[in-house]
């Protein structure tokens, strides 16, 4: 028997699942949320129970310490020595990594080098890795990269219209992110469709970070995030796409350096910047429906318009679409934003949401569109951790059982 923990650190969250092998039995799963905010919480599910703990998690290190304490205090494991391996999600692998790898010093060094390309994520991943490595010195570790699923993009889709040597000499190109989620969700949708040879799927991974992908016949052909996870649609604190000329303009007007303005793009923009309320969609939603806050309404409308524009462009690239799938924290749990997004594309695509189905809460994959809709709309809870642990099992030669 082996224990494997899959670790998925987002920019403000830390999800995990502990698996017992062989057989991929999930013993416990949880999510430490709102890391870095004044009030945080952790949701732990085990033995049919659900525990919600309110606490403050200044950094991902405190989140890791909390998780390991839970495993012992809840008697899920008798000793940390029972955990044989850890699989870690890493957002940015650059051109170094096109698949998951066993961790060594060289791998860690390369991920550190790539921190400037994913400043909200790669540093958090490394904090988590080092914390788990310190607490579990006997365990082996695997890094699974979010950029790997997007390595199938054609050159005309991943290149920027910059001097070509910036790509060849400096590696400046589109890399994408959330690949583990896009891979899992698109595979689930293909199974739902009956495993056809041809399929056209648009996956909307909408969380504190957000990205859209176009998946044709199981292969990613385009995605919204680019050189870093800053580009694409607006997010919790990230601006998404903006005119590059805004950078020098703000530097001059605000007397700030380029790095200071970039920090604003990454940490003070998006939902937080537009609403002036919070980077958390739940806070914005509360301000909208309980207070009628106008900027909260504007935030929702702008967010939906950002996403719907990418959906429209990917319909053109795919030559049509069979399924639009929503996933991640917002995609799975915020019905009014799903409704706004689909409403934006309904006239062009002939797709329509069933209001009752859209408003239902469920942990299961489900269709939320009307039977008459020309395009199916689905909610598919993502499971990046399962993708991570499968790669960990494969690379470390652990018996996976049935």
Would residue 146 show up in a list of annotated catalytic residues for this protein?
yes
Strands 40-46 vs 25-33: parallel, antiparallel or unpaired = antiparallel
For residue 106, which phi and psi values (nearest 5 degrees)? -65, -40
Torsional sign, CA 388, 390, 395, 397: positive
DSSP labels, 272-299? HHHHSS-SSHHHHHHHHHHH--HHHHHH
DSSP labels, 166-227? HHHHH--S---S-HHHHHHHHHHHHHHTT--S--EEEEEEESSSEEEEEEETTEEEEES--S
**3-state class of 36 per DSSP?**
coil
- Give alpha helix (H) positions in 74-121: 105-113
How far apart CA 224 and CA 241 sit, in angstroms, is 9
| Of 104, 146, 154, 169, catalytic | 146
- CB of 21 within 8 A of CB of 401? yes
Catalytic residue numbers, as ranges: 146
């Amino acid at each position: 028997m082996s224990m494997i923990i899959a670790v998925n650190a987002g920019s403000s969250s830390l999800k995990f699942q502990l698996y017992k092998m062989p057989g991929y039995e999930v013993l416990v799963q949880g999510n430490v949320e709102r890391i870095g905010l004044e009030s945080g919480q952790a949701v732990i599910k085990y033995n049919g129970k659900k525990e919600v703990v309110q606490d403050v998690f200044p950094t991902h290190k405190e989140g890791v310490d909390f998780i390991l304490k839970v495993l012992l205090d809840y008697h899920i494991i008798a000793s940390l020595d029972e955990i044989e391996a850890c699989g870690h999600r890493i957002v940015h692998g650059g051109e170094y990594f096109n698949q998951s790898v066993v961790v060594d010093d060289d791998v860690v060094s390369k991920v550190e080098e790539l921190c400037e390309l994913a400043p909200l994520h790669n540093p958090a991943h490394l904090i988590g890795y080092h914390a788990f490595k310190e607490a579990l010195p006997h365990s082996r570790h695997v890094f699974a990269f979010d950029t790997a699923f997007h390595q199938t993009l054609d050159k005309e889709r991943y290149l920027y219209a910059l001097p070509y040597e910036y790509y060849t000499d400096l590696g400046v190109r589109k890399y994408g992110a959330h690949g583990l989620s896009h891979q899992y969700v698109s595979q689930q949708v293909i199974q739902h469709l009956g495993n056809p040879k041809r399929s056209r799927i648009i996956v909307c991974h909408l969380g504190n970070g957000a990205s859209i992908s176009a998946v044709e016949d199981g292969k990613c052909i385009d995605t919204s995030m680019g050189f870093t996870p800053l580009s694409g649609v607006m997010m919790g604190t990230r601006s998404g796409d903006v005119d590059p000329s805004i950078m020098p303009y703000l530097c001059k007007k605000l007397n700030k350096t380029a790095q200071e303005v970039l920090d604003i793009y990454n940490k003070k923009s998006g939902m937080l910047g537009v609403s002036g309320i919070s980077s958390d969609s739940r806070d914005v939603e509360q301000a909208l429906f309980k207070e009628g806050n106008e900027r909260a309404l504007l935030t929702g409308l702008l967010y939906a318009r950002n996403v719907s524009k990418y959906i429209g462009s990917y319909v053109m690239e795919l030559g049509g679409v069979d399924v639009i799938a929503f996933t991640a924290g917002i995609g799975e749990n915020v019905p009014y934003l799903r409704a706004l997004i689909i409403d934006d594309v309904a006239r062009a695509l002939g797709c329509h949401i069933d209001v009752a189905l859209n408003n239902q809460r469920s942990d299961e994959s489900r269709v939320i569109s009307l039977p008459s809709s020309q395009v199916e709309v689905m909610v598919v809870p993502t499971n990046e951790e399962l993708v991570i642990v499968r790669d960990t099992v494969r690379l470390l030669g652990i018996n996976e059982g049935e």
